[in-house]
Amino acid sequence: MGKNGPIDVIVMNSHGVGQVCNVHRLPRRGETMEAWNWHVEEDGGKGATVSVALGRLGVSTGYIGKVGYDPWGDMGDKWMSESGVDTTYMYRDHSVSTGTGLIMIDDDGLNTIVDGDSACRALTVDEIHDAIAAMSEAKVFITGFGMPFQKALAGARIAKEEYGMTTFCNASPLPTEPLGDLGFVDHLVVNDVEGRVLCGLPEDSETPFGEICRQVVATYHCNGVIMTCGAEGSAVLDGDDYFFVRGTKVKAVYTIGAGDGYLAATAAGLVWGKTLREACEWASKYAAYKVTREGTMTSRPGEGYPPLSDVEEWMRSLQE
């Protein structure tokens, strides 16, 4: 039970903050140099973004993760809480720093990224278990590999085997170690490039999407696969049922976070009683709308992950 009542969806993944600056050129070893336009991106790790998207859709959401006692941890708590997300189990730890990345962009538009590791490395399995148990009424559990993948999978196993939740696992970024048997994962979420990698296929392989999904299930024993395929749409295998959801054509202005939004919207659909096919079709339109808006976590009007009222109004306009 969350502090604001029953929780419908649990999200367990990383929170981090990116800092961006411009430089004329990348620094040489040992050099101190000028940078300008230094700012914090209003974007978090995959746990925070999925949580915020769900919260703005009006879904009762609880977040599980670990951050430091620092401004970046405070920022994640603020972003999620303002969106209605319960952050009771956003554990704070003096021994870690909230993940942050530094992105330097030179005069040619090339960038170098220094990416800090996830504070969720310090999240213990006991803490994960306690948090899931406290929100055991949840219908859906979402995790992913923005945090150490072994702990993400431990959470999914607890959610499925002990509490019977529907489990989603976003296998991004793919770990270098074997994933093992994923029989406790209902929906393994990947993009088409990751799907090919999991099957040992070359990146430009023309293997049909359905075949890739079936091969992933045969190898990892998850119940199904949701594979996003960029603007084309998404390929979905749910048990023996395979279908493809075609993308909605829009003029994209900001594609970062679209996949996280799609995942959140799919989970929302299941909470609202939609079938998986219906949920994915709705989520596909939601993601199309999202990429017409700048930003992700920002709450500026007309930007970021949209509230449900804006989504419904945009979807009605598609039918006119």
Q: What is the pLDDT at residue 306? A: 95
Do 225 and 203 meet the contact criterion of CB atoms below 8 Å apart?
Answer: no
Say how far apart CA 50 and CA 140 lie, in whole Å: 13
User: What pTM value is reported for the model?
Assistant: 0.91
Q: What is the pLDDT at residue 116? A: 67
Q: What is the pLDDT at residue 320? A: 66
End-to-end CA distance of the chain: 41
Q: What is the pLDDT at residue 14? A: 92
Do 66 and 76 meet the contact criterion of CB atoms below 8 Å apart?
Answer: no
DSSP structural state of residue 5:
B
Say how far apart CA 310 and CA 57 lie, in whole Å: 10
Q: What is the pLDDT at residue 221? A: 97
User: Which CATH superfamily groups domain 9-26+34-318?
Assistant: Ribokinase (3.40.1190.20)
Do 12 and 64 meet the contact criterion of CB atoms below 8 Å apart?
Answer: yes
Spell out, as residue ranges, where the chain has pLDDT lower than 70.
Answer: 2, 42, 115-117, 320
89 DSSP β-pair partners: 64
For residue 192, give every residue at least 6 positions away whose Cβ sits within 8 Å of its Cβ, in sequence order, or none: 209, 212, 227, 228, 229, 230, 235
